[in-house]
């Protein structure tokens, strides 16, 4: 390490100094790197251990590293799902004094996977559609805060399981621009066009490698992001006009957005000069409605669909115990200690890296649904947990930090019924083969 080495970080980790910055990233040895599944990138990316956690290191220019570092910080402050920035490393040189590229260091997102690692053999239609839907939600959230991505793709995204769906996180922000005044329709349409082209290309690439289920149409899958995006964007932003005596429509609009996982921070309400008609239009919309409610009640910080699922179980618990009229916070604490935490504690220590606790709880509820349907009667939760651990969880790969070939996914032996998991009251979502 030379005296010119410069590290920029909001909180300096001394472990950064121990990494071999005087060696080109391509030449780092197995003592320094961690092999994780990763997406396709125009830059060289490697994973490394840093003070007990895994970080991603990308070689790029000094200007691009600094720009992306700043952008990730801005997106984090706006509460947009993205990877966490760690540091920018400048002034690198090898032992002969030759300059080396700068590096951007970001934290590996635990329990996340690139899209190529979310299926074991071939990509199935249901998995593809859920991935595209998750990316559409992310794109809407980015556009809602004025972020123009410029390079929307599955490869530039990480996915975490979210109660039968996926939650998408931005990984590569180097082409992005943040506009405080918001985006024009043209900018949003450009991102959509890029997304459509990139997704179709990525799906065709899977087909060329024999990793796409027969009969799937790459363009049709890519079309899904257009329709999903437009539907959600309209729900968040469209103006709605109704008769002045239909004021209940305002409450209905708020509830509809809450169901989609959004809160209205500000709404424009205008009446016609004669007072017969009223127009409403959301002006400030924040994602994470169910997440915020669950955090307030229980302190659990989970994905949006997981929060919705846990809240549903909490509501069911209130009904079962006859506590509907009791203080909501008190009942939530009781549910947390008597229902959620016992399920999580029942998972053997060596299996706890398989899935995050909220996803385990969701899948246990779905497993109970299948067992109860098969027997025609309710199955005790203790028996359900034992069955889930032995028949399902043990056969999953660890997703806290999935170890495996650098650009491929792992495969595991499976001898399970082709079924998903669902709650006692709801039909199951997804496909079992996509959960393994």
Q: List the structure tokens of 135.
A: 């990316």
pLDDT confidence tier of residue 415, bands split at 50, 70 and 90: very low
In degrees and rounded to multiples of 5, residue 369 shows phi and psi of -60, -45
- Rounded CA-CA distance 57/340 in Å is 37
The set of residues, in sequence order, having a beta carbon less than 8 Å from that of 184 and lying 6+ positions away, is: none
Mean pLDDT of 142-160: 95
**pLDDT over 70 percentage in the chain:** 89
For the cut 80, the answer to whether the pLDDT of residue 270 exceeds it is yes
- Starting from the edge strand earliest in sequence, which strands make up the sheet with 102-107, in order? 6-8, 85-90, 102-107, 53-60, 45-50, 33-34
Question: Domain containing 280: what range?
Answer: 240-287
Q: In this structure, is residue 264 part of a structural domain?
A: yes
- Kindly state whether residues 93 and 146 are assigned to the same domain: no
- Rounded CA-CA distance 153/194 in Å is 8
Total domains, the chain: 4
Q: Domain end: 92, 108, 124, which one?
A: 108
Mean pLDDT of 128-136: 95
- Kindly state whether residues 127 and 232 are assigned to the same domain: yes
pLDDT tens digit sequence for 173-195: 999 999 999 999 999 999 999 99
- Kindly state whether residues 231 and 245 are assigned to the same domain: no
For the cut 80, the answer to whether the pLDDT of residue 166 exceeds it is yes
For the cut 70, the answer to whether the pLDDT of residue 424 exceeds it is no
Q: In this structure, is residue 315 part of a structural domain?
A: no
Q: Residues of 131-165 as b/e, b for ≥16 C-beta within 10 angstroms? A: bbbbbbbbbbbbbbbebbbbbbbbbbbbbbbbbbb
For the cut 60, the answer to whether the pLDDT of residue 354 exceeds it is yes
- Kindly state whether residues 383 and 279 are assigned to the same domain: no
Check residue 320 and give its pLDDT: 86
**pLDDT over 90 percentage in the chain:** 67
**Number of residues written out for the chain:** 436
Check residue 38 and give its pLDDT: 63
pLDDT confidence tier of residue 75, bands split at 50, 70 and 90: very high
Check residue 261 and give its pLDDT: 92
- Rounded CA-CA distance 435/426 in Å is 18
Q: What is the CATH number of the domain that holds 64?
A: 3.30.200
Q: In this structure, is residue 63 part of a structural domain?
A: yes
Q: In this structure, is residue 366 part of a structural domain?
A: yes
- Kindly state whether residues 48 and 137 are assigned to the same domain: no
Check residue 171 and give its pLDDT: 94
Compare 81 and 407 and report the one with higher pLDDT: 81
For the cut 80, the answer to whether the pLDDT of residue 148 exceeds it is yes
Check residue 153 and give its pLDDT: 95
Q: Residues of 185-204 as b/e, b for ≥16 C-beta within 10 angstroms? A: eebbebbbebbbebbbebbe
pLDDT confidence tier of residue 39, bands split at 50, 70 and 90: low
């Amino acid at each position: 390490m030379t005296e010119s080495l410069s590290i920029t970080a909001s909180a300096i980790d001394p472990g950064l100094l121990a990494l071999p910055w005087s060696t080109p990233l391509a030449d780092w040895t197995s003592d320094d790197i961690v092999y994780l599944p990763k997406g396709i990138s125009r830059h060289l990316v490697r994973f490394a251990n840093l003070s007990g956690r895994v970080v991603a290191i990308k070689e790029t220019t000094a200007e691009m590293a600094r720009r992306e570092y700043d952008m990730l910080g801005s997106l984090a402050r706006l509460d947009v799902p993205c990877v966490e920035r760690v540091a920018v490393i400048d002034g690198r040189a090898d032992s002969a004094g030759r300059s080396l590229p700068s590096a951007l260091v970001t934290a590996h997102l635990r329990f996340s996977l690139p899209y190529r690692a979310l299926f074991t053999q071939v990509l199935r239609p249901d998995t593809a559609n859920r991935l595209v839907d998750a990316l559409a939600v992310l794109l809407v959230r980015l556009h809602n805060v004025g972020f123009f991505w410029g390079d929307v793709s599955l490869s530039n995204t990480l996915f975490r399981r979210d109660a039968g769906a996926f939650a998408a996180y931005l990984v590569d922000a180097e082409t992005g621009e943040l506009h405080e005044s918001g985006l024009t329709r043209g900018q949003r349409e450009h991102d959509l066009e890029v997304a459509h082209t990139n997704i179709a290309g990525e799906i065709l690439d899977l087909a060329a490698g024999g990793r796409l289920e027969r009969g799937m149409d790459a363009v049709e899958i890519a079309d899904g992001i257009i329709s999903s995006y437009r539907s959600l964007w309209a729900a968040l932003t469209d103006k709605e006009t109704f008769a002045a005596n239909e004021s209940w429509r305002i409450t209905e609009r708020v509830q509809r957005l809450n169901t989609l996982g959004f809160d209205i921070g500000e709404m424009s309400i205008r009446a016609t000069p004669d007072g017969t008609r009223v127009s409403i239009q959301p002006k400030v919309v924040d994602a994470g409605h169910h997440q915020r409610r669950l955090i307030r009640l229980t302190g659990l910080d989970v994905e949006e669909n997981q929060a919705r699922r846990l809240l549903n179980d909490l509501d069911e618990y209130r009904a079962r115990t006859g506590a509907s009229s009791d203080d909501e916070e008190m009942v939530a604490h009781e549910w947390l200690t008597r229902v959620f935490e016992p399920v999580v504690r029942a998972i053997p220590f060596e299996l706890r890296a398989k899935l995050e606790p909220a996803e385990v709880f969701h899948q246990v509820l779905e497993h109970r649904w299948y067992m109860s349907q098969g027997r025609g009667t309710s199955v005790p939760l203790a028996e359900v947990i034992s069955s889930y651990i032995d028949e399902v969880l043990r056969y999953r790969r660890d997703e806290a930090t999935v170890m495996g070939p650098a650009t491929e996914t792992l495969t595991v032996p499976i001898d399970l019924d082709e079924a998903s998991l669902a709650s006692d009251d709801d039909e199951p979502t997804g496909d079992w083969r996509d959960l393994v």
